[in-house]
Structure 1
């Protein structure tokens, strides 16, 4: 098994697959997009990163390679900009990660979130349709499933995301993606990941970065929920390997239009995650403050990733303890730079 810069993949190919590929990453200045940019640069791809936000780096030792990425600041819904990027850079693979995903922002402005997440996906797929041979990997989410009567979620479950604007946007974008595959034979596939965590996520309203940040400050974390919510957590480097694995398998045409779940096969309750972090940071004295004011969120939600293992040969390489150790280490380094 080949050792990659950010982890391992069960079906890891040599760097030759990505050598000189021309790749567009939407949402490339975000948390997951930055790690994806890095790994693509490691493997020799030409990377164009499109994001509303300016470029940002992950700190040493990653920044030298990230400097090779072409950062373009713009909106994924800008049709003319997409046309220019596809044509000028002869894009052959797209990772569509751009989305409005923060719970507070989505609830405060659902129209903008729906437009970004749904029409942004349409614009990317439509531009890819106009360019023969382009492969598109759409980053979906376990939230696309909405509430279900049985667990874990499998890919054949219906999409019931009508109880939250973010969930709804992901359900809609998934259906649109599959329509482009069915009707227009566009080479595209969907990655439905659990909650992605890792170094580089500066949205401290999220559970794991928020908990680490407050504990580094010697404060207890405030929890929006009652702490009993059950979720699937996947380390960012495993998520990146999942995206790359999908792209590498998409070229043979056998998974076009299909969705794949990617999780850690070890769902945890919110309080379990907080307790794991406090133990690793030796901060067990900082007991969480339970606000219990979360609204319209699903109580229990986790994925069955067996299809990804069976069809793609993918499996996660980081358990929660190893992933949290890496994550805490990153934030400790980051805290020394601000």
Structure 2
């Protein structure tokens, strides 16, 4: 039996794989299209530690490829799905809304269509805290009224949730949606704020701060979120639900910068820019539902998360500073590309 992880080479996937190898006996089918939203080499590097793991199979392909999905499900006896694949990023979605809609909405529909065609134990869909919108009351409660998403990205994630709930009601797909809040930690995407801050600070360049730094975010260590995702695979009474995965202790962006200054040993040269209309003024997860249904409890505080990120950023400086290149000189790539579905692999134990 196998767990299919879409978007497995990304930030969440690279932390989820080792956790599932510890907590599950199933094979892990890791599907990713390795696109150039940021360096594909960096995504391959995320999976490199698992390339020789007999329980891990890496498939290079797109979730919108219906035939590929069908073959992947059927050939690997998929019984559970963790759907992480998506175009991420609030600000970029404002400029490229059609690309986000195609990948996030059409891609999720393709996955759910395949999920309804065979018996599955659980389908975990990654949504986002951006579904709450500016009108939602803080802290965000899953079953309270939602506001209007402030970005096309948030709108596509809300559509993802509605599709999952519709497929559950209409076809019995055992789907549960999780809403991660501002995940941080090692291997953070290069386009996210903390990566940009660290990159500019170490280079001695002006740090681009949107607004006055008073925006509050519910920063959550990626490992805590992955523990919640793994719990959603087996927990009772969660099918059809949307569940927050956060830390419920928001910090301001300015406080985050202060922690980065301490851990990186350098001072930020702030360059104030106008606020972005697509950003929510504050995010904060109400964790009542997650604690009740998933026995979820965040363990890693922001100071430790920033410390781990800073250590990784310094060690992986070449990758950390490569934000979107699709190629890199061979002499700076500390990995070999993992095998794909088209290359021989060892039989699973």
Please tell me the TM-score bracket, short chain as reference: 0.7 to 0.9
How far the C-alpha of 1:30 sits from its partner, in A, is 1.0
Matches within 5 A, 1:94-243: 94-203=81-190, 205-243=191-229
Rounded to whole Å, the distance in 2 between the matches of 1:162 and 1:236 is 23
Q: Corresponding residue for 1:10?
A: none
Q: Runs in 1 of length 4+ with deviation above 6 angstroms?
A: none
How far the C-alpha of 1:85 sits from its partner, in A, is 0.4
> Do the aligned partners of 1:161 and 1:171 also contact (CA within 8 Å) in 2?
no
SS in 2 for 1:288: strand
Q: Which moved more, 1:297-306 or 1:320-329?
A: 297-306
> Do the aligned partners of 1:192 and 1:260 also contact (CA within 8 Å) in 2?
yes
How far the C-alpha of 1:280 sits from its partner, in A, is 2.2
Rounded to whole Å, the distance in 2 between the matches of 1:171 and 1:160 is 11
SS in 2 for 1:155: coil
Correspondent of 2:259 among 276, 285, 297: 276
Q: Tell me the TM-score normalised to structure 2 length.
A: 0.83
Structure 1 pair 238–216 and aligned structure 2 pair: CA distance change class (3 A): same
Rounded to whole Å, the distance in 1 between the matches of 2:189 and 2:292 is 34
Correspondent of 1:291 among 273, 279, 283: 273
Structure 2: unaligned runs, 5 residues or longer? 35-39, 320-331, 333-349
Q: Corresponding residue for 2:45?
A: 57
Rounded to whole Å, the distance in 2 between the matches of 1:131 and 1:225 is 49
Rounded to whole Å, the distance in 2 between the matches of 1:56 and 1:42 is 21
Q: Corresponding residue for 1:256?
A: 239
How far the C-alpha of 1:226 sits from its partner, in A, is 3.1
Q: Tell me the TM-score normalised to structure 1 length.
A: 0.86
How far the C-alpha of 1:166 sits from its partner, in A, is 0.6
Rounded to whole Å, the distance in 1 between the matches of 2:286 and 2:257 is 23
C-alpha RMSD of the superposition: 1.9
SS in 1 for 2:269: coil
Rounded to whole Å, the distance in 2 between the matches of 1:158 and 1:56 is 40
CA offset digits 1:108-137 (Å, max 9, x no partner): 210110121112111111111111124110
CA offset digits 1:223-265 (Å, max 9, x no partner): 234312111111111111110011121xx4x211011111111
Q: Which moved more, 1:229-238 or 1:291-300?
A: 291-300
Structure 1 pair 80–159 and aligned structure 2 pair: CA distance change class (3 A): farther
Rounded to whole Å, the distance in 1 between the matches of 2:211 and 2:283 is 14
